[in-house]
Amino acid sequence: MQLSPKLLGTLTDLLAPELRGSSSLSQHLAVRLRALAVELELQGQVSQPASKGALPLVEVQGDSLIAQPAEPAVRVANVPAVQPELSEVFTEVSRRSKHSMPRQFDFDRYLCRSVALELFYFGEVYQGYARQDHTANTIEGHLFSAMRQTKLIPHNADWQSLKYSRCGRTDKGVSALSQVLALQLRSSAKKGEQPPEIHQELDYLTILNRVLPLNIKVLGWTPVPEDFSARFDAVQRGYKYFIPQHGELNINNMQQAASYFVGEHDFRNFCKADVRHVSNFRRTILDFQMQPEPGIAVGGIQLWSLYVKGSAFLWHQVRCMAAILLMVGRGQESPTIVQQLLDIGQHPCKPQYNMLPEVPLLFHSCSFEGLQFHQPAHVNKAIEEAAVEALDHHAVRQTGAQAHQVVAEGSGTLVGRPIGQSPDTKEC
């Protein structure tokens, strides 16, 4: 049905008075009606039913305006090219929608699974591995920030609810080639579904490594039981301490002294006392070797490592043992000094000596029964080898300056006297 001239004039006066008398009046009215509909939609009014007696909405076909029953929306068909002002309206609608309706991630839809992650990191630029209240610049701080950013854990998840555990806790400046941690991460499976196979699961390595700092990288992951503990289920941990051999160190004597560490002993004289948290100082050393690092030298000087493996270690234990071995290597102590200090009856309190610097220390390895880490094809051994090379050269650069100074100046013998001859100055 054709609109009466009176009704057409009313619409023109309401929507486009400047177009009265235009030859393409119906086309322009269609554009204005569409713009009005968009604006009403933004205000949440389009979905409301039309009130009784309201002005009928219209549908445009070509140049004819046909009366239609009132509907909760305006439809426009076969409209000529959109005018610039209408294009701007749609752009504004899109812009407003993006900013006014942020998408919330629904963790409740997804399954959480227990996993273990293997990672390496350079410790020199961080304030240690463990989280701290006064700084976010720790390995754990960056790691958990990356997990929240990538929606692998809820933003407000606490450590207990994630069942988090770590194999070792390295101090400020100490690096790691193979640190292991365990926790619960979001899976690709929905709740109620079975956990997917490894090759069908989320690519945790790529997801995390994209947002982690360059000197913190995840090397592999594997599913683990819910009661798995990276701390208590570890059967072995290995540390390397790098030292330069200028020719003055007696490596044979150092190796003999190192052999006395092997076995289960009370190591209270080879650690920094933490009496608030530790009451048992007995630990088991599985192996302790002096070994050259092939192809690595500092200014033409061969680099050696003290490589110790044990079930667990006390606070600063490796750095204290390394300090005693350097005294033996310089001839300031005999190899039997280790046996003497392990005899708590003879030396119930730790003698005063300085432990070695932290930077040449590397948390080298840790192992678990039946645990094999998965590396996708794009994260292969080349990454691990690059990490090893980078960490070795990092240790070389630091060791060249620090360990040389320790060897030249001494690591804290008492007023030039061997420890065994200084029972009066001790740390109890």
Nearest to 407 by CA among 332, 347, 318, 330: 330
- Please state which of the four CATH numbers 1.10.3730.10, 3.30.70.660, 3.50.50.60, 3.30.565.10 is assigned to the domain occupying 236-427: 3.30.70.660
Residue 32 is predicted with a pLDDT of 66
Q: HSE, CB side, 13 Å, CA atoms: give it for residue 384.
A: 19
Kindly report the CATH class assigned to 111-223: alpha beta
Query: Sign of the CA dihedral 342, 346, 348, 353?
Result: negative
Beta-bridge partner residues of 304? 243, 292
Residues acting as catalytic residues = 171
> CA 413: distance to chain centroid?
41
**Could you tell me where in the chain the CATH 3.30.70.660 domains are found?**
236-427
User: What is the location of CATH 3.30.70.580 in the chain?
Assistant: 111-223
- For the entire predicted model, the pTM comes to 0.70
pLDDT at 364: 93
How big is the CA angle at 126 (ends 155 and 295), to the nearest 5 degrees? Answer: 125
pLDDT score at 145:
94
Tens-digit pLDDT string for the chain (428 aa): 455 666 666 666 665 566 566 666 666 666 666 666 666 665 554 444 444 444 444 444 444 444 444 444 445 445 444 444 545 544 554 555 555 555 788 888 899 999 999 998 988 889 888 888 888 889 999 999 999 999 999 988 888 889 999 999 898 989 998 999 999 999 999 988 899 998 899 999 999 999 999 889 999 999 999 999 999 999 999 999 999 887 889 999 999 999 999 999 999 999 987 767 778 999 999 999 999 987 666 666 788 999 999 999 999 999 999 999 999 999 999 999 999 999 999 998 889 899 999 988 999 999 999 999 988 766 655 565 656 565 555 555 555 444 444 443 444 443 334 555 544 456 65
